[in-house]
Amino acid sequence: MRLQGECRALAEAVTLGSMSAFWHPFADMHAVQHAPFIVDRGEGVYVYDEDGNRYLDATAGLWYANIGHGRSEVVEAVHRQMERLPAFHTFVDFATRPTLELAERIAAVSPDLGSKVFFGQGGSDAVDTAAKLARRYFAAIGQPERTVFITREWGYHGVNAYGTSLAGIEPNRAGYGELVGDVAIVPYDDAEAVEKAIEHAGPERIAGIFVEAVVGAGGIRPVPESYLQQIREAVRQAGGLYISDEVITGFGRVGDWFAATRFDLEPDMITFAKGVTCGYLPLGGVVIAPHIAAPFFDEPGNIFRHGYTYSGHAASCAAGLAVMDILESEGVLERAVELESEIPAALAGLTDLDVVTDIRSGVGALAAIQLDPDDETLPARAAKACRDAGVLTRAVGGGALQVSPPLVMTPDEVAEMAERFHAGLSTL
């Protein structure tokens, strides 16, 4: 008891400026450990620090707060489920009602109504699930030689073993050695390069391609719709799978439930996370087309030996059900379509600033403020300057700033966001 009391006293004595016990993701901890930025609460499109200062959240947390912060409907749904049963594993034949219901709801809005849904805990393990399932599927149908995945420069597919290997952002792979082999990385916008990668590996060895319809963490890089169709057909002709990574774009970000639906891509699998619960609790998963699920559902004893302790977590799934209710009842997907034009129009004036070279947008409520790519320190300084001006953003690949606000943002808040960006970037 004495030790517990001493530990508690020590914790209480730690100042907010010396939170050295916490290791931040993707951070230079030498710089961060003595000066963390403490986010205390959120309301709508705004968050507040512990001093009560208000900031417009231009990133929706980390791409996820599509319905905004502080939605009591989700909190109450989670509370009800936690009072009843917070969680129970779903291995073998165990299930909870929210798990089953959310799977049905997601399957109902997926491109193929006969799809199955495999739940995980977030986007990184959704990608690992999809990659493992692709290889396991081909082994199940007698084509175990199909192990090669194609991925694209600037693509981000999480940080687990498969996701790290699939990363098209070179620093995210550096220093680990080879984690998963048989990965070919091609330019993000070159369909011919995909065809050449297939030819080089051998069509008979292609397992599939992982594709973000809009490159996210790599710098918000949309491509022509024809490109997505072209690379899908190239991989399909080779006998491989088209895997649509929608951890960012799923659940409304591009004005539809999935980018695959908007662009009529008919993928073999869809990875999702973030928007499914809008960050209220962690959840992710994979939507699996019927023909991929068939060997495991139709043949006895053919087990996909994969899953997580919290696959289909009851309270997380309750959050997902509440989020889907809001997305449907409040027309949030339709609002995303409006933001697709409102956001770039509001940000256009930023190109008058010396530090801004371009505004990239075009698909959904997503945009990038491109800064001088030759100044490696500029994105971090720019993000800090914008924070000081009352708008939160972050550096993404290629020297750009991320713009992906909550989909419930009003036109007045869009204008305010642009004004705060201008105020911050004008100081550089």
Instruction: Categorize the per-residue pLDDT at 32 as very low, low, confident or very high, splitting at 50, 70 and 90.
Output: confident
Average pLDDT over residues 46-60: 98
Query: What pLDDT digit, counting tens, does each position of 318-349 carry?
Result: 999 999 999 999 999 999 999 999 999 999 99
Q: Report which secondary-structure segment, H or E, holds 56.
A: strand 54-57
Check whether residue 342 and residue 325 sit in a common domain: no
Q: Higher pLDDT residue, 17 or 397?
A: 397
The answer on 183 and 106 residing in a single domain is yes
In a domain, 208, yes or no: yes
Instruction: Determine, yes or no, domain membership for 30.
Output: no
pLDDT confidence of residue 141: 98
Q: Residues 255-301: pLDDT tens digits? A: 999 999 999 999 999 999 999 999 999 999 999 999 999 999 999 99
280 located within any domain: yes
Does residue 318 sit within a domain? yes
Residue 359 lies inside a defined structural domain of this protein = yes
Shared domain for 319 and 374, answered yes or no, is no
DSSP-derived secondary structure letter, 400 = E
Which of 377, 354, 296 is CA-nearest to residue 133? 296
Shared domain check, 300 and 173: yes
Q: What was the pLDDT predicted at 428?
A: 97
Examine the domain organization and report whether 151 and 204 are in the same domain: yes
Instruction: Flag whether 1 is in a domain.
Output: no
CATH number at residue 415: 3.90.1150.10
Region of 296 (left: φ > 0; alpha: ψ -120 to 50; beta: rest) is alpha
In terms of domains, do 86 and 233 share one?
yes
The yes-or-no verdict on residue 10 having pLDDT over 50 is no
Contact 424, 387 (CB under 8 A): yes
Q: Evaluate if residue 4 carries a pLDDT over 90.
A: no
| Domain endpoint, select from 280, 298, 329 | 329
Q: 228 with 335, same domain? A: no
Domain that holds residue 303: 73-329
Residue where a domain stops, chosen among 329, 355, 370: 329
> 137 CB contacts (<8 Å, ≥6 apart)?
241, 292, 295
Residues 389 and 321 both lie in one domain: no
Whether residues 350 and 244 share a domain: the answer is no
246-258: buried (b, 16+ CB within 10 Å) or exposed (e) per residue? bbbbbbbbbbbbb
Domain end marker among 282, 299, 329: 329
Lowest mean pLDDT across 32-36, 79-83, 122-126, 355-359: 32-36
Q: Report the C-alpha gap between 87 and 128 in whole angstroms.
A: 23
How many domains would you assign to the chain? Answer: 2
Q: Over range 368-390, report the average pLDDT.
A: 96
State the amino acid at position 282 in one-letter form. P
Residues 231 and 322 in one domain: yes
Supply the pTM of this predicted model: 0.94
Token pair listed for 99: 């798990």
Residues 221-260 pLDDT 10s: 999 889 999 999 999 999 999 999 999 999 999 999 999 9
Position 390 in a domain? yes
In the predicted model, what is the mean pLDDT of residues 160-181? 95
pLDDT score for 33: 77
Q: How confident is the model at residue 71 (pLDDT cuts 50, 70, 90)?
A: very high
Q: Give the range among 15-29, 309-323, 347-361 with minimum mean pLDDT.
A: 15-29
Query: In this predicted structure, what is the pLDDT of residue 9?
Result: 44
Candidates 317, 285, 294, 288; CA nearest to 127 is: 285
Are 89 and 227 found together in one domain?
Answer: yes
Q: What is the pLDDT of residue 268?
A: 98
pLDDT at 6: 45
CATH of residue 290's domain is: 3.40.640.10
Other residues' Cβ atoms within 10 Å of the Cβ of residue 340? 18
The pLDDT, as a whole number, for residue 36 is 87
Instruction: Give residue 225's pLDDT.
Output: 83
d(CA 245, CA 217): 12
Same domain, 350 and 210: no
Residue 94 lies in a domain: yes
| Residue 31 banded pLDDT, cuts 50, 70, 90 | confident
